[in-house]
Amino acid sequence: MKKEFDITGMTCAACSSRIERVVRKVEGVREASVNLAAERMAVDAENNAVFSAVITAVERAGFGAAERKKNAAGLDKNARKVRSMKTKLTLAACFSVPLFYLAMGPMIGLPVPGLFDDPLIYAFTQMVLAIGTMIVGWKFYAVGYSALFRGSPNMDSLIAVGTTASFGYSIYSLFRIANGNHHAAHELYFESVGVIITLILLGKTLETISKGKTSQAIKSLMKLVPATTFVLRDGMELEVPTSKLLAEDVLILKPGSRVPADGTVLSGNSAIDESMLTGESLPVDKGEGCRVFAGSINQSGTLQVKIDRMGEDTALGSMIRMVEDAQGSKAPIARLADVVSGYFVPAVMLIALIAAAAWKISGQSWGFCLSILVSVLVIACPCALGLATPTAIMVGIGKGAEYGILFKNGEAVEELHRISTVVLDKTGTLTAGKPILTDLIPAEGMDRTQLLTLAAAAERPSEHPLGRSILEAAKDFDLPDPEEFEAAVGRGVIAKVNGKKILVGNARMMAESGISFAVFPMEQLEKEGKTPIYIAINGKPAGIAAVADTLKADSGAAVRMLQAQGVQVVMLTGDARRTAEAIAKEAGITEIRAEVLPGDKAAVIKELQASGQKVAMVGDGINDAPALATADVGIAIGSGTDIAIESADVVLMHSELSAVPTAMELSRRTIRNIRQNLFWAFAYNTLGIPVAAGLLYLFGGPLLNPMIGAAAMSLSSVSVLTNALRLKRFKPKGE
List beta partners, residue 633. Answer: 616
Residue 487 sits in a domain whose CATH number is: 3.40.1110.10
Choice among 249, 325, 338, 425 that is catalytic: 425
Residues 511 and 563 in one domain: no
> In the prediction, which pLDDT does 191 show?
85
H or E element, residue 661: helix 659-692
To the query of whether residue 425 is one of the catalytic residues in this protein, the response is yes
Pick the residue with more confidence: 273 or 120?
120
> In the prediction, which pLDDT does 720 show?
82
H or E element, residue 674: helix 659-692
Whole-model pTM? 0.72
CA distances from 382 to 485, 653, 688 (A): 78, 38, 12
Contact 9, 15 (CB under 8 A): yes
Helices and strands counted in the chain (H then E): 25, 26
Residues 99 and 124 in one domain: yes
Residue 346 lies in a domain: yes
- For residue 157, name the pLDDT band (cuts at 50, 70, 90): confident
How many angstroms separate the CA atoms of 164 and 352, rounded? 14
- For residue 489, name the pLDDT band (cuts at 50, 70, 90): confident
Q: What is the mean pLDDT of residues 517-523?
A: 82
> In the prediction, which pLDDT does 318 show?
76
Q: What is the mean pLDDT of residues 196-225?
A: 75
Residues 290 and 338 in one domain: no
- For residue 643, name the pLDDT band (cuts at 50, 70, 90): very low
Residues 625 and 639 in one domain: yes
- For residue 72, name the pLDDT band (cuts at 50, 70, 90): very low
**Range scoring the smallest mean pLDDT among 193-197, 378-382, 567-571, 639-643:** 639-643
Residues 691 and 562 in one domain: no
Looking at 249, 281, 314, the residue that finishes a domain is 314
Q: What is the mean pLDDT of residues 700-715?
A: 77
Residue 664 lies in a domain: yes
Residue 159 has pLDDT above 70, yes or no: yes
Residues 268 and 411 in one domain: no
Which residues lie below 8 Å from residue 661, measured CB to CB, with a gap of 6+? 558, 561, 562, 565, 732
Residue 597 sits in a domain whose CATH number is: 3.40.50.1000
**pLDDT (tens digit per residue) in 80-133:** 888 888 999 999 999 999 998 888 777 767 788 888 888 899 899 999 999 999
Name the strands in the sheet holding 421-425, side by side, starting at the edge strand that comes first in the sequence: 405-407, 650-652, 633-637, 615-619, 421-425, 568-572, 591-593
Residues 299 and 340 in one domain: no
Q: What is the mean pLDDT of residues 241-260?
A: 89
Residues 540 and 468 in one domain: yes
Q: Which of 517, 553, 512, 513 is nearest to 533 (CA)?
A: 517
Residues 469 and 416 in one domain: no
Residues 399 and 409 in one domain: no
Looking at 532, 548, 564, the residue that finishes a domain is 548
Residue 222 lies in a domain: no
Residue 30 lies in a domain: yes
Looking at 68, 93, 111, the residue that finishes a domain is 68
Owning domain of residue 718: 328-404+658-735
Give the count of domains, the chain. Answer: 6
How many angstroms separate the CA atoms of 168 and 164, rounded? 6
Residue 216 lies in a domain: no
